[in-house]
Structure 1
């Protein structure tokens, strides 16, 4: 999610362009953190800091994957607050509003350490090279892939196989549709600049959600019996659907709670260590309703919806499956505790 282009430009808001369809800016830093260090950033425990925000679905992916794989000791994490100004995500959750490792008030500073003329959005997630205090990568799609494939030497014992080799080709197809039609589809609805653009985006979104409802009727997870990265990617949108996308983004044919299969699936994941304990609904609502002020000029944050249902029994056990396959769940946190 970016603080200067499409998702969180400023607290004054500038997201909807009259008469236009919404188009996400997918330009990111192409450098990667890899085992062989071919881009100048070798995988090293303790060298990097993941900067995320619980409000952001793209960053939430990285937070979930880091926790599932047990990378907390190898890759530290800094969290930005949910609401920011036109310049940047800020570290206002930390004492004094300063990240304790980087010494920055704004994530923007890490981007300018990389390039003083950095021209693109200040996005989370970003992984910062602590010795130079410069962003190493901000490609949200690649970050979670690399956490699995490139950081495997630092995975916890029992870390799940989020990319089962026999399923990878099908996973790519499923994840592409989930991203294009659902993860990004809600934004195409919310930021549509014309009725025609909105209607087309709405139809595409609900076609995809109906497909997912059908797909998940006979399988516990998107790819079958175990959790994969495909589930991580879908979950972060589902978690935000009723609190934000249904009303704020006008994705209102149904609430998630009115889609029995997807709602049970979402609760199943939420109640799995790594998912619900990385989700902060208050920060999610604060971000969207305050920052997108051209959509919500009053910046009033709704009190609802009632979130009690997320902990209700989901009944998905009858489909069988083993959430973590041959691996194990990450440590269960005390109730009400968020992963750090």
Structure 2
């Protein structure tokens, strides 16, 4: 210890413990500190585990799909502790994202997001694409569109964006005629009833498959096809996901505007897009019908801006 005088032959022995006492205390303290550091190191583990993972809450509709578990596992390797939060139907994940209950969601296409933003004066924004899924018309009563009789009832989803897309399919199949030729804003009010073959009814998207025993046919969103015991290949009509006009129907990851440059969220999108296991899982669920995409974010933002502007212009 600094300032301690040397011990001489005449120094009383009683003094020895006084000089050793602080030294012993210091040694004990050092050992305790070292022990604590060792214990911390053992509990902390390496940089890829425990508290070093960045927690992210992802909202989806259909968390039981196996590829979400694959994404969770592969995201962990990139330092992301992913929690997949399941929502029962489409109207729930966007408000949850707006309110900060989740960090990011993936369940919707650009048209749906634009409709939500405009209706609620929000600025949720896309940060990555996933795929375009063909929307299909299904039936438990007929094997083809031609077998549907005049005056039969066909069901479509009641949310604005999917309803417009569904009506486009019915028009392409020759079942209805739309007064304006059809657009992303078409509603039941745009149907020319006198020139149409069938009656059209709109109900909640998750209920369209359960309506099949009671109607001639129904448009069923991909999320609910297999859950309803249907097969994608059994669709009697569907749209073309490779059509350039289908860009607004690209499915996306969305975040709050202030988080659009968040590197962790961008990394999660990269894992989703680049993982063969995840992409194979997506195709397994979609029975190979998904058109997987890596659309530039700038293109997604431009499409969203256009659809939002068109929506506002319509009042």
User: What's the TM-score bracket when you normalise by the shorter of the two chains?
Assistant: 0.3 to 0.5
Give me the TM-score of the superposition, normalised by structure 2. Answer: 0.32
Q: Which has the larger radius of gyration?
A: 2
Give me the TM-score of the superposition, normalised by structure 1. Answer: 0.30
Higher strand share: 2
Higher helix share: 2
